[in-house]
Chain A
Amino acid sequence: MTSADFLALLPLLVTALSSLIVLLITAFRRNHLLVAVVTSLGLMGALMTLPVASQVAPRHVTPLLLVDAYAIFYSGLLLAAGLAVTGLSYGYLEKRAGQHEEFYVLLLLATLGAITLAAATHFASFFLGLELLSVSLYVLIAYVRTDKRPIEAGIKYMILSGASSSFLLFGMALVYFHVGTMEFARMAVALDDHVDVPYPFLVGLVLILTGVGFKLAVVPFHMWASDVYEGAPAPVTAFVATVSKGAVMALFVRYWLIVDGARYESLWLVLSLIAGGSMCVGNLLALWQENVKRILAYSSIAHLGYLFVAILASGTMVVEAVTFYLVAYFIATLGAFGIVTVLSRSDGDAAAMHDYRGLYWRRPGLGGVLTVMLLSLAGIPLTAGFMGKFYIITVGVQSALWVLLILLVLNSVIGLFYYLRIIVWMSTVPAEAQPRVIAIPVPDVSWTEHVVLAMLTILLVWLGLYPSPFIRMIQSLS
């Protein structure tokens, strides 16, 4: 390891170090505010080391990690999302009794796992990052112990995640058996030498896809999503929906492109079935939900399906399209769960219809933010979500994926329907005679939550209105 290696690893090191510091602080003095501030500073510090790391990029640090523009961009995205979740968590946990300090340690560790995934180019680092992320999440999901549902969700997630990890490991073993290496780049070279159809490799890849598919909650590995989303504390749900999925997606796209999975027809077919299935199942099941967190869970299944359409396309724009869509999805999902967090009271999360009824007239600001987020998820112009969808349709048209595109269009319309339902709830005018009876008091919104929501809204609209600077930034990733 040279000093340049250390520079390249700085974001990881800073994140790891902050988790240790937070742990030490907790050991000596419990103070929620102090811990939250240190966590935020740690994540901000890690963000600030990214330019330093990019000075030495691209650089292989051991065979395990590759710090290149792609890894740095995704690390930035994941760290920023972690920061947003920290901001949301502070207000959320303040409302609840109990000890909150360990929450931040786990949050930092999970983020560390996520950014490891973004830089991983080796099965070992892949698995390491994934487990770091997952094990932290088991606890985070079940963190609020005063309620039964988080615990149920945590156990459910742990068992299924464990099972999927074993699939993943077996898949890795099969791939290793066939190509004799665990490095992505050398795997691609080894595959080029084979002329016959590499069955063990394909089976291994499908098993890896099972493991990855579970983390991404794509059909048919989506069953856990709605229960875990509903049960987990709202900020943790936001984390699962964004950071956890985003990191795995970043890794999967890198792996898929390096080994050029699209050249195997059967794999391509499997992936397109996953894409189509996720879009249709996610959206159709979302239609029957009455719970905002469950609606968002199913909608996120559908969004991953849209993302897979972009992955299936070929051409120079794929990474760009995936990245843009993912960023738009991050912002809107964090924003939507941010509102859920803000509206939640000490006795439970705000997910039922009556929590949102008439929100426009009670808290126009919060209602407005949620509306913008939902419209972005639905892909309505002037929001980042539309540009993302535009990107996906663009790469789809380029690669002539007509069937998937038609499915995408139909599903966008279905999706719009259930997003509109939430908007309808919010716009219900309280009855003139008894406006106070229906109105559920909205808890105080802490300043951290204000900041996070404002930033997310500004970003969302900015990317929708004037995406050019951002597009220039992500153009260099592929």
Chain B
Amino acid sequence: MILAWLIILLLVAGIMAWASERRGPQWPRWISLGALAIDLILGLSLWKAGGDPFDMTPGGAWIAELSAQWIPRFGISLHLAMDGLSLLLVLLTLFLGLMSVAASWTEITKQVGFFHFNLLWVLAGVLGVFIAMDLFLFFVFWEVMLVPMYFLISIWGHENRVYAAVKFFLFTQAGSLLMLVAILGLTFIHYQHTDMLTFDYQSLLGTAMDPTVAMWLMLGFFAAFAVKLPVVPFHTWLPDAHTEAPTAGSVILAGLLLKTGAYGLLRFAVPLFPEAAQAFAPVAMGLGVIGILYGAVLAFAQTDLKRLVAYSSISHLGFVLLGIFAWNALALEGAVMQMLAHGVTTGALFILVGALQERLHTRDMRRMGGLWATLPRFGAIGLLFAIASLGLPGLGNFVGEFLVLLGTYQVSILMTMLASLGVVAATIYSLALVQHTFHGQAREQWNVQDLSSRSLAVLGVLIVVQVWLGLYPQPFLETAGQALHNLVGISDGPAIVSRR
């Protein structure tokens, strides 16, 4: 039941935040902060309680579960369940949610109530995606996070917000509907075999089907997740959406919505269609590598700070795709670590850029330079997260990228080599970011305030988590480990056969 409460709390708090706007702009902020804090505490208590780590049945290591009938006509149930993987992502969601409420404290001044309503509903949708174990329910949550996100971008975004918001919505929706068709195809194949109409994840696992059909259905799922992740030919919505969104929107987009794509691949696309995924793995890994390099090259070419961070996301998520389709324990652990670390790093970078834009009213790096002198706090924290982003050992991203590369090496040496180039490229664009913004000649005289102590506290927490991920990743790996072990157990994996 606790799983339902996690979501309901956010939904109700969203409505309350909206309704409380008339009492004053501080009300929605405090309500959102409170609701997310309570949720985070609930989540942490689940983590502390832990699941049964010795339960080795496939998919059986649920930390918490809830199941109830919803639409019996189609065998649809309200099935929520959480294993270690879901738990980590839920914690990331709530943590970044908290950070983004704090980061919008002064940025959002108009329609504060509706803003927080959308923020909390998008977070509720993301939570739902991470814990839904019924494919229909999963799809519903998948869409629920879309509409509020659209509003966040289109109402509180920057100059070109409507274009970006509509593009984001259309791209995602096209992928989602293909996934819906694939979900229905899968359930009907299952129905033909067993005479039981169900959308339950565990029942649908291991459905036998024709390889060609399996490939098409897998591609249907892949389409939805590839748009969200994003995989390179489907990525063009991302730079626009990230750039135009308000800070909280960017943090949630990069930190969480992209992760739902990775999670979908990890939880649904590969385990439901193991053979098809195996056949598709070389293509997917190739796309991953292309994403890594393409994202890195384009990030270097940007002059808009937010666009730079957005393209770096494409590069980082390429590692996640690579790790998932390498499909062995090391690579998957790496992919999960990369998801967490990228969420924290990119979240922090977007908060920094947002705060910078609030002060300078520009994101153009050509107008910056030499900011360290006037904004030393910005400079120091910016440098820290830039080197986290480039994968410096001791910080979270390094762990993720290293494990992915290590795991991929067992599958394909060529892919590993090419992907490693991405790490080098990351160094170039990350340092270029610091160089152009904080060092060198000051091109304009800015007379602005440094980070407030509130922002400092937010970023401080992010730094602590980032260092924790980098120096002592063991608790995270352990939590995810059992879940990943189960996932690998469900399907023998696409790439294990080709292990050398």
| Residue ranges of B at the interface with A (Cβ–Cβ < 8 Å) | 70-74, 110-111, 114, 139-140, 143-144, 146-147, 150-151, 154-155, 162, 165-166, 169-170, 173-174, 177-178, 180-181, 184-185, 188
Contacts and interface: CB of A to CB of B under 8 A. Distances in A.
Given A416-B169, A420-B169, A393 B184 contact: yes
Contact of B173 (A361, A412, A424, A468): A412
6 contacts: A381-B143, A397-B185, A398-B188, A466-B70, A471-B71, A471-B73
A475 interface: yes
A390 interface: yes
A468 B71 contact: yes
Contact of A417 (B170, B178, B180, B181): B170
Interface in A284-335: none
Contacts of B188: 397-398
B11 to A, nearest CB: 11
Contacts of B178: 409
A382 interface: yes
Given A409-B178, A412-B173, A429-B155, A381 B72 contact: no
Contacts of B177: 409, 412-413
Contacts of B170: 413, 416-417
A390 B143 CA distance: 13
Interface string A358-373: 0011000000000000
B184 A394 contact: yes
A171 B310 CA distance: 61
Nearest to A395: B184
Tell me if B's interface is mostly helix, strand, loop or mixed.
Answer: helix
Nearest to A414: B170
B173 A475 contact: no
B139 A381 contact: yes
B73 A417 contact: no
Given A382-B140, A409-B181, 18 more contacts: A360-B114, A380-B143, A380-B146, A381-B139, A382-B143, A390-B180, A393-B184, A397-B185, A409-B178, A410-B174, A412-B177, A413-B170, A420-B150, A424-B154, A424-B166, A468-B71, A471-B71, A472-B73
Contacts of B180: 390, 393
Contact of B155 (A381, A393, A421, A427): A427
Interface in A389-436: 390, 393-394, 397-398, 405, 409-410, 412-413, 416-417, 420-421, 424, 427, 429
Given A427-B154, A467-B71, A413 B110 contact: no
Given A382-B140, A427-B155, A429-B111, A413 B174 contact: yes
Contacts of B140: 381-382
A124 B152 CA distance: 56
Contacts of B165: 424
The 10 closest A-B pairs by CB, nearest first: A409-B177, A381-B140, A381-B143, A397-B184, A413-B174, A471-B73, A427-B155, A468-B71, A424-B162, A413-B173
A36 interface: no
Contacts of A390: 180
A394 B74 contact: yes
A105 interface: no
A375 interface: yes
Nearest to B189: A397
A427 B151 contact: yes
B142 to A, nearest CB: 8
Contacts of A424: 154, 162, 165-166
A380 B145 CA distance: 11
A411 to B, nearest CB: 10
A57 to B, nearest CB: 23
Nearest to B191: A398
A466 to B, nearest CB: 8
Looking at B71, B73, B178, B185, the one whose CB has the most chain A CB atoms below 10 A away is B73
A229 to B, nearest CB: 24
Given A380-B147, A394-B74, A361 B181 contact: no
A394 B165 CA distance: 30
Nearest to B143: A381
Nearest to A387: B71
Interface in A7-28: none
Contacts of A417: 166, 170
B414 to A, nearest CB: 35
B336 to A, nearest CB: 28
Nearest to A413: B174
A457 to B, nearest CB: 15
Nearest to B147: A380
A462 B71 CA distance: 13
A382 B142 CA distance: 11
A321 to B, nearest CB: 11
A364 B468 CA distance: 45
Given A409-B174, A416-B169, A468 B70 contact: yes
Looking at A420, A429, A472, the one whose CB has the most chain B CB atoms below 10 A away is A420
A380 B170 CA distance: 12
Contacts of A413: 170, 173-174, 177
Nearest to A317: B73
Contacts of B72: 468
